[in-house]
Chain A
Amino acid sequence: MPDLLADYPRPDATYHEMLDAGGRVRPHWQRLHESLARSTPAQLQQRQALVERQIQENGVTYNVYADPQGSDRPWALDLLPNLIDAEEWQGIAAGVAQRAGLLNRVLADLYGPQQLLRDGLLPAELVFGHNNFLWPCQGVQVPGDTWLHLYAVDLARAPDGRWWVLADRTQAPSGAGYALENRQIVSRVLPELYRDLRVQYLAGFFRTLQEQLREQAPSEGETPLVVLLTPGRFNETYFEHLYLARQLGFPLVEGSDLTVRDDTLYLKTLDGLQRVHALLRRLDDDFCDPLELRTDSALGVPGLLEVVRQGRVLVANALGSGVLESPGLLGFMPAIAEQWLGEELLLPSIATWWCGEPPVLEEALGKLGELVIKPAFPSQSFEPVFGRDLDEEGLKALAERLKARPYAYIAQELAQLSQSPVWDGQGLQPRAIGMRVYAVASRDGYRVLPGGLTRVAGQAGAEVVSMQRGGGSKDTWVLGERAQGQEPWHWSKPLGVRDLIRSDPYLPSRVVENLFWFGRYSERCDDGARLLRVLLEQYVDDGDDPLALQAALALGEQTGWLPPGERLEERLREALLGDEWPYSLRSNLQRLQWSASQVRGKLSQENWQALVELQREAQALESRDSDLGELLDFLNRLLLQLAALTGFALDDMTRDDGWRFLMLGRRIERLQFLADSLAAFLRGAGARDQAALEWLLELGNSIITYRSRYLAAPQLIPVLDLLLLDEQNPHSLRFQLHMVERSLGALDERFATPLEHRLTLLAGQLEAFDLGSLDARTLFGESGVQAVLQGLADLLQTISGAAGELSDRLALRHFAHVDAVSQQTLSS
Chain B
Amino acid sequence: MTASARYQIFHDTQYRYAAPVSLAQQQAHLWPRECAWQRCLFQELDIQPEPSRRQDGLDVFGNPLTRLAFERPHTELQVNARLLVEVFAHAPHSLAESPPWEQVVAQLTYHGQALSEAELEAAAYRVESPFVRLKQAFADYAEDCFAPARPFLEAVAALMDKIFREFTYDGEATLVATPLLEVLERRRGVCQDFAHLMLACLRARGFAARYVSGYLLTQPPPGQPRMIGADASHAWVSVYCPQLGWVDFDPTNNLLPDLQHITLAWGRDFADVSPLRGVILGGGSHDPEVRVTVLPAGEVAQAQI
Contact = CB atoms under 8 A, between A and B. Distances in A.
Interface of A: 114, 117-120, 123-125, 128-129, 131, 135-136, 138-139, 259-263, 290-292, 294-295, 302-303, 306, 356-358, 377, 379, 401, 404-405, 407-408, 818
Given A138-B60, A291-B279, A404 B136 contact: yes
23 contacts: A120-B112, A120-B113, A124-B120, A124-B123, A125-B123, A125-B126, A125-B127, A135-B61, A136-B60, A259-B23, A262-B52, A291-B277, A302-B25, A302-B279, A303-B25, A303-B69, A357-B110, A357-B111, A358-B109, A404-B139, A404-B204, A818-B22, A818-B73
A131 B131 CA distance: 12
Contacts of B268: 135
Nearest to B203: A405
Contacts of B279: 290-291, 302-303
Contacts of A263: 53
A260 B281 CA distance: 12
A260 B27 CA distance: 15
A291 B27 contact: yes
A306 B67 contact: yes
B114 to A, nearest CB: 5
Contacts of B79: none
Contact of A136 (B53, B59, B71): B59
B109 A356 contact: yes
Interface string B273-305: 000011101100000000000000000000000
A117 B136 contact: no
A120 B114 CA distance: 5
A260 B110 contact: no
A144 B52 CA distance: 31
Contacts of B69: 261-262, 303
B142 interface: no
Contact of B60 (A139, A379, A404): A139
B52 to A, nearest CB: 7
Given A135-B60, A291-B25, A291-B277, A128 B114 contact: no
B35 interface: no
B155 to A, nearest CB: 18
B53 A379 contact: no
B281 to A, nearest CB: 8
Given A123-B110, A135-B268, 6 more contacts: A117-B123, A136-B59, A262-B69, A291-B278, A358-B109, A358-B111
Contacts of B73: 818
B166 to A, nearest CB: 22
B27 A407 contact: no
Interface residues of B, number: 39
A294 B131 CA distance: 11
A466 B67 CA distance: 44
B272 interface: yes
Contacts of B113: 120
A263 B271 CA distance: 23
Given A114-B120, A295-B271, A379 B136 contact: no
B128 interface: yes
A125 B110 contact: yes
A125 B124 CA distance: 8
Interface string B11-32: 0000000000011010100000
A124 B110 contact: yes
Contacts of B278: 291
Contacts of A139: 60
A291 B25 CA distance: 8
B41 interface: no
B60 A120 contact: no
A752 to B, nearest CB: 23
Contacts of B127: 125, 128-129, 407
A15 B71 CA distance: 62
A259 B281 CA distance: 10
A128 B25 contact: no
Those 7 A-B pairs whose CB atoms lie nearest each other, nearest first:
A124-B123, A129-B127, A302-B279, A123-B110, A138-B60, A291-B279, A818-B22
Contacts of A131: 128
Contacts of B120: 114, 117-118, 124
B208 to A, nearest CB: 10
Contact of A262 (B71, B111, B128): B71
A560 to B, nearest CB: 26
Contacts of B52: 262
B89 interface: no
Contacts of B96: none
Nearest to B130: A294
B134 interface: yes
Contacts of B67: 306
Contacts of A407: 110, 127
B115 A261 contact: no
A124 B115 CA distance: 9
B266 to A, nearest CB: 13
Nearest to A359: B111
Nearest to A126: B110
Interface string B108-149: 011111110000100110111010001010010000000000
A128 to B, nearest CB: 5
A292 B27 contact: yes
Contact of B110 (A262, A295, A356, A405): A356
Given A260-B25, A302-B25, A404-B139, A118 B128 contact: no
Contacts of B136: 401, 404
A294 B279 CA distance: 12
A303 B112 CA distance: 38
A120 B115 contact: yes
Choose among A124, A135, A139, A303 the residue with the greatest number of B CB atoms under 10 Å from its CB.
A124
A675 to B, nearest CB: 30
B65 to A, nearest CB: 10
Contacts of B123: 117, 124-125, 128
B260 to A, nearest CB: 30
A614 B277 CA distance: 46
A136 B57 CA distance: 13
A61 B112 CA distance: 46
Contacts of A118: 114-115, 120
A425 B6 CA distance: 83
Contacts of B277: 291, 295
A260 B272 CA distance: 22
Contacts of A120: 110-115
A295 B131 CA distance: 12
Contacts of B25: 260, 291, 302-303
Interface in B181-216: 204
B115 A262 contact: no
B115 A128 contact: no
Contact of A135 (B109, B114, B272): B272
A117 B139 contact: no
A139 B57 CA distance: 13
Nearest to A131: B128
Given A124-B115, A290-B279, A405-B134, A129 B110 contact: no
A117 to B, nearest CB: 6
Contacts of B139: 404
Contacts of A138: 60
A259 B278 CA distance: 15
Contacts of B126: 124-125, 128
Contacts of B23: 259, 261
Nearest to A302: B279
A117 B204 CA distance: 22
B94 to A, nearest CB: 30
Contact of B124 (A128, A294, A295, A356): A128
Taking each of B53, B110, B123, B268, which has the highest tally of chain A beta carbons within 10 Å of its own beta carbon? B110
Contacts of A379: 128
A766 B113 CA distance: 87
A405 B204 contact: yes
A525 B66 CA distance: 51
Contacts of A405: 134, 204
A306 B281 CA distance: 18
